[in-house]
Chain A
């Protein structure tokens, strides 16, 4: 917000207050979308013009309307839309939803003031995402590779360890290649006191803070701050990605809280509700956030977004995950069943998909055997799942030795490959090697997805031979 800029107009004529909306007498020259300041004795809160006609301006207040008194309260119009200061010095800082420091540090000295709504990337200048980001988490890097410029959400449920996964990614994520600079922007929306404390602790204790910017709007923050946070975070991310040629990964959690805030405001505006009370424009609203991911032909940097959301009642058809899935390029779905088995991170690899992965893996990107290992792991695990179900009907005794190998494989897949320490970072190579290790318990002729050349080069049996001979 350019609070410095001189406001030109003000009024005390408030016709009414409803929820977080103020109905104010319109004075000449009010701009649609502009920021207003509402002064209450001593303090002031901000708001935004969301509808304006010659007679009335509707102002959405970024906080509580308690204490607003028609006739006494002053509403000042700034003549500008919502802007934040942006600077490379935001790195290492912890800020709120409107980019104000909450880490006790100094104000951000802006290089620029930017409208948090941003602009749409020109579709004709985009180039398809095709290089990976290494999160250091095996199940993601091998089967659900995140690609620079992609938007790939985590669909979680309450009580599942999505926040820990988020922090692990903040700590570990990296891109390959010398001279490539990588930054994580972390945004927490509407999180509880405990969650916020956890994030702050983690962020402060991790060595990676200097390549991280964190934005936190706790549950107690105003609705509008929560609504602003993803955009504020992405505005900072864009500033760094496009002006400083950096690869920026933005993690946003929990977008369910964001959607709830959106619903709340829509209800206050008395809009015709869409499915389950969420506004009809929620798709577009979320799209204007997630579509900020991408790469363009004229810039070196990239914008990658990983939103995290909790599915109400674990229901993937709920409007929040549903509309998200319609916007993002795949989804990582966490599984309560696998979590109950004590496996971290508990990913349902069948419901999950990284749609852009195929372009981002293989030789010179991850490793040449990645594609084949990927297909083989998935198909073997699928076969094993089928056999698990079958053995539940016909009994374990009636399974063949081959079938039993598959069951053993499934256990290893979950306990050794998917399961991973929260502070354990595995490179692409390490991940793929573990993949080979567990695949090698299956008879060789079961590895149908793997070509003989790849098998000779990477299967532990032959690899060992080659290395042994040297």
Chain B
């Protein structure tokens, strides 16, 4: 290490400028002041080094020392991640609470991210023999981290050679070596954990295209605007429009192997609400606690702003690590706007040229660096496998106005756009995803999956058309009232209302409705479409919409979402379809 100890020259909020740090690298971690606060080098101008400090800086004085560490800001990856609650610097918050005995986060505390004393039961990979050639990503063994997660111990990127030794099955701590790899006269000890710089994407062997949807359990997403595994989505919306609830629901119900929840500059009560429910709720597909497949990063709005950026990059890094094991990972970030604001604050203090609304010119490229780490990939190493990382980012535009810089930059990098609508939210239509403004660019990739279940392409298109038509008619209705419309349009409005209320609306508060598996989506939509088909026929025979509206089966369809898939399958669905048919038969007969 060629760099030397420097001295603080200036302190301005989270920004510290140091002098005399010769040889320091960009993004190197430095320890600031006598307390050794964690900082990261974000600019070097001549002899002055600009450091963003991840802890409260009050009380620092000019002249205090700044010590370089020679290392970039890194995550520690290994058994123990699952079920953890980290701050933006990967300090485990529960353990910090125990260690300090305080209800507050105090600065300068350091606790390692992964527990050193825990012994994990390691099972070696039987395929690997002494003397085998071994390369990055190769799996040397397994640890059953939780009942839901088999943690695969991989050779870290950039390590390779021949297996000189491999540990027998047994209990080890993460500091113990489980294999030794030699290359020439150099030896590398493979441990159960590995560090990785959070700003650097973990390498993979090949990027793969999207092939199947990531089911989220939210009907309007899965059926109307599906996301693919490895996809990127933005959820923009004003306050109270339902971003956090949507992200929490996605983390809960997604058909992913691992879920990562990043609370970045948001509320503490929300984090504790999410944590509490993850400790209680069962993963519907495997009947185990959701916490057993989740990682939390909680950097609330009152915690140091600079750590908002590290929270999102820490989240993706952990996501990529599990992806590399061959898993499908979902990560949500609430809210990327808070991170962008932190960037703006630091940039302002560095007296950089401000771009639009004071955001730095590199806002857009920083967002790209984040979203581009999503994807479905063929990962490094043997056995051959693929994994995916899907990212959902909330955006909180001022005044709910989507023309602001963060929304506009984000749109360029995401494939799914779920626009939350203030109007819908005040009418308590949740999720308040506006069906006219939202889109998914994955339709062609997921249609094979959906069309196997149902006439999805056709129904989806019909439903969207009806909703579109409703929007066109709404102006007329406002002027003359709904009764003045021709019968055909009245039917459109009636079906549109069914689509909105019986299908799109989905309450996160209702224990049954909050998770809707694809088969259930299909059944509800089929019932609505059957009703529509028969109503259209009835209209041609002179029946009025007023009478169609009164049909008993209309209410039955509205009740469908409150049945579980099992109930629907074992008779309920059939009964409802039959009542629809007999209702119309009666209507025409009578």
Asked if B11 is an interface residue, CB under 8 A from chain A, the answer is yes
Given contact pairs A123-B271, A291-B267, A299-B103, A53 touches B10 in the complex (Cβ within 8 A): yes
Nearest residue (CB) in B for A58 is B12
When the two chains form the complex, which single residue of B97, B305, B344, B509 contacts A122, counting CB atoms closer than 8 Å?
B97
What is the CB-to-nearest-CB distance from B511 to chain A, in angstroms, rounded to a whole number? 13
Provide the A116-132 mask, 1 if CB < 8 A to any CB of B, else 0.
01111111111111000
Asked if A314 is an interface residue, CB under 8 A from chain B, the answer is no
Nearest residue (CB) in A for B401 is A317
CB-based contact B300/A322 at 8 Å:
no
Given contact pairs A280-B358, A319-B398, A122 touches B426 in the complex (Cβ within 8 A): no
Asked if B24 is an interface residue, CB under 8 A from chain A, the answer is no
CB-based contact A28/B302 at 8 Å:
no
CB-based contact B341/A281 at 8 Å:
yes
Nearest residue (CB) in A for B273 is A128
Q: Which residues does chain A contribute within 8 Å of B239, judged by CB atoms?
A: 322, 325-326
Asked if B389 is an interface residue, CB under 8 A from chain A, the answer is no
Q: Which residues does chain B contribute within 8 Å of A52, judged by CB atoms?
A: 10-12, 61-62
Q: Which residues does chain B contribute within 8 Å of A284, judged by CB atoms?
A: 265, 301-302, 305, 341-342, 345
When the two chains form the complex, which single residue of B104, B275, B342 contacts A119, counting CB atoms closer than 8 Å?
B104
Asked if A458 is an interface residue, CB under 8 A from chain B, the answer is no
What is the CB-to-nearest-CB distance from A449 to chain B, in angstroms, rounded to a whole number? 13
Between A122, A126, A127, the greatest number of chain B beta carbons within 10 A of the residue's beta carbon is seen for A122
Question: Which of the segments B52-60, B286-294, B409-417 contacts the partner chain?
Answer: B52-60
Asked if A272 is an interface residue, CB under 8 A from chain B, the answer is yes
Question: Which of the segments A133-141, A221-229, A351-359 contacts the partner chain?
Answer: A351-359
Question: Which residues in window 2-41 of A have CB below 8 A to B?
Answer: 26, 28-34
CB-based contact A126/B268 at 8 Å:
yes
CB-based contact A31/B60 at 8 Å:
yes
Asked if A432 is an interface residue, CB under 8 A from chain B, the answer is no
Nearest residue (CB) in A for B478 is A393
Between B17, B263, B273, the greatest number of chain A beta carbons within 10 A of the residue's beta carbon is seen for B273
CB-based contact B58/A31 at 8 Å:
yes
What is the CB-to-nearest-CB distance from A394 to chain B, in angstroms, rounded to a whole number? 7
CB-based contact A117/B269 at 8 Å:
no
CB-based contact A274/B61 at 8 Å:
no
Question: Which residues in window 40-85 of B have CB below 8 A to A?
Answer: 57-63, 85
CB-based contact A122/B240 at 8 Å:
no
CB-based contact A355/B348 at 8 Å:
no
CB-based contact A120/B9 at 8 Å:
no
Asked if A363 is an interface residue, CB under 8 A from chain B, the answer is no
CB-based contact A294/B62 at 8 Å:
no
Asked if A435 is an interface residue, CB under 8 A from chain B, the answer is no
Asked if B298 is an interface residue, CB under 8 A from chain A, the answer is yes
Number of B residues with CB within 8 Å of any CB on chain A: 58
Between A53, A81, A283, the greatest number of chain B beta carbons within 10 A of the residue's beta carbon is seen for A283
CB-based contact A29/B63 at 8 Å:
yes
Q: Which residues does chain A contribute within 8 Å of B263, judged by CB atoms?
A: 123
Nearest residue (CB) in A for B270 is A329
Q: Which residues does chain B contribute within 8 Å of A327, judged by CB atoms?
A: 267, 301
CB-based contact A54/B9 at 8 Å:
yes
What is the CB-to-nearest-CB distance from B561 to chain A, in angstroms, rounded to a whole number? 17
Asked if B106 is an interface residue, CB under 8 A from chain A, the answer is yes
Q: Which residues does chain A contribute within 8 Å of B575, judged by CB atoms?
A: none
CB-based contact A51/B12 at 8 Å:
yes
What is the CB-to-nearest-CB distance from A11 to chain B, in angstroms, rounded to a whole number? 14
Q: How far is the CA of A294 from the CA of B344 in the complex (A)?
A: 28
Q: How far is the CA of A52 from the CA of B12 in the complex (A)?
A: 7
Q: Which residues does chain A contribute within 8 Å of B275, judged by CB atoms?
A: 124
What is the CB-to-nearest-CB distance from A147 to chain B, in angstroms, rounded to a whole number? 9
Q: Which residues does chain B contribute within 8 Å of A322, judged by CB atoms?
A: 238-239, 398-400
Asked if B590 is an interface residue, CB under 8 A from chain A, the answer is no
Asked if B102 is an interface residue, CB under 8 A from chain A, the answer is yes
What is the CB-to-nearest-CB distance from A439 to chain B, in angstroms, rounded to a whole number? 19
CB-based contact B399/A120 at 8 Å:
no
CB-based contact A26/B62 at 8 Å:
yes
CB-based contact A122/B59 at 8 Å:
no
CB-based contact B61/A294 at 8 Å:
no
CB-based contact B400/A149 at 8 Å:
no
Q: How far is the CA of A317 from the CA of B93 in the complex (A)?
A: 35
Asked if B547 is an interface residue, CB under 8 A from chain A, the answer is no
Q: Which residues does chain A contribute within 8 Å of B396, judged by CB atoms?
A: 326
Between A32, A288, A325, the greatest number of chain B beta carbons within 10 A of the residue's beta carbon is seen for A32
Q: Which residues does chain A contribute within 8 Å of B240, judged by CB atoms?
A: 325, 330-331, 353, 355
CB-based contact B97/A124 at 8 Å:
yes
Asked if A370 is an interface residue, CB under 8 A from chain B, the answer is no
Asked if B354 is an interface residue, CB under 8 A from chain A, the answer is yes
Nearest residue (CB) in A for B94 is A124
Nearest residue (CB) in B for A56 is B10
Between B267, B342, B401, the greatest number of chain A beta carbons within 10 A of the residue's beta carbon is seen for B267
CB-based contact A394/B481 at 8 Å:
yes
CB-based contact B103/A296 at 8 Å:
yes
Q: How far is the CA of A351 from the CA of B399 in the complex (A)?
A: 15
Q: How far is the CA of A430 from the CA of B468 in the complex (A)?
A: 47
Asked if B96 is an interface residue, CB under 8 A from chain A, the answer is yes
What is the CB-to-nearest-CB distance from B423 to chain A, in angstroms, rounded to a whole number? 11
Q: How far is the CA of A279 from the CA of B344 in the complex (A)?
A: 11
CB-based contact A125/B103 at 8 Å:
yes
CB-based contact B301/A294 at 8 Å:
no
Q: How far is the CA of A125 from the CA of B268 in the complex (A)?
A: 10
Q: Which residues does chain B contribute within 8 Å of A356, judged by CB atoms?
A: 269
Given contact pairs A26-B62, A28-B63, A350-B426, A122 touches B301 in the complex (Cβ within 8 A): no
Asked if A271 is an interface residue, CB under 8 A from chain B, the answer is yes
CB-based contact B301/A291 at 8 Å:
yes
What is the CB-to-nearest-CB distance from A21 to chain B, in angstroms, rounded to a whole number? 13
Q: How far is the CA of A353 from the CA of B104 in the complex (A)?
A: 29
Q: Which residues does chain A contribute within 8 Å of B62, judged by CB atoms?
A: 26, 28-30, 52-54
Given contact pairs A53-B9, A284-B341, A317-B400, A121 touches B268 in the complex (Cβ within 8 A): yes
What is the CB-to-nearest-CB distance from A334 to chain B, in angstroms, rounded to a whole number? 16
Nearest residue (CB) in A for B16 is A32
Asked if A421 is an interface residue, CB under 8 A from chain B, the answer is no
Given contact pairs A33-B58, A81-B58, A274 touches B357 in the complex (Cβ within 8 A): yes
Given contact pairs A355-B240, A358-B509, A120 touches B272 in the complex (Cβ within 8 A): no
Q: Which residues does chain A contribute within 8 Å of B104, judged by CB atoms?
A: 118-122
CB-based contact B399/A32 at 8 Å:
no
CB-based contact A33/B59 at 8 Å:
yes
CB-based contact A32/B301 at 8 Å:
no
CB-based contact A54/B94 at 8 Å:
no
Provide the B302-326 mask, 1 if CB < 8 A to any CB of A, else 0.
1101000000000000000000000
A-B contact pairs, 6 of them (CB 8 A): A284-B342, A287-B300, A291-B268, A327-B267, A356-B269, A390-B481
Q: What 6 pairs between A and B have smallest CB-CB spacing?
A: A33-B58, A53-B10, A287-B301, A124-B93, A119-B104, A325-B239
Partner-B contacts on A (CB < 8 A): 26, 28-34, 50-54, 81, 117-129, 149-150, 242, 271-275, 280-281, 283-284, 287-288, 291-294, 296, 298-299, 317, 319, 322-323, 325-327, 329-331, 350-351, 353, 355-356, 358, 390, 393-394
Beyond A117-B58, A120-B105, 7 extra complex contacts between A and B, CB < 8 Å: A51-B10, A125-B93, A272-B348, A281-B345, A283-B265, A325-B240, A351-B426
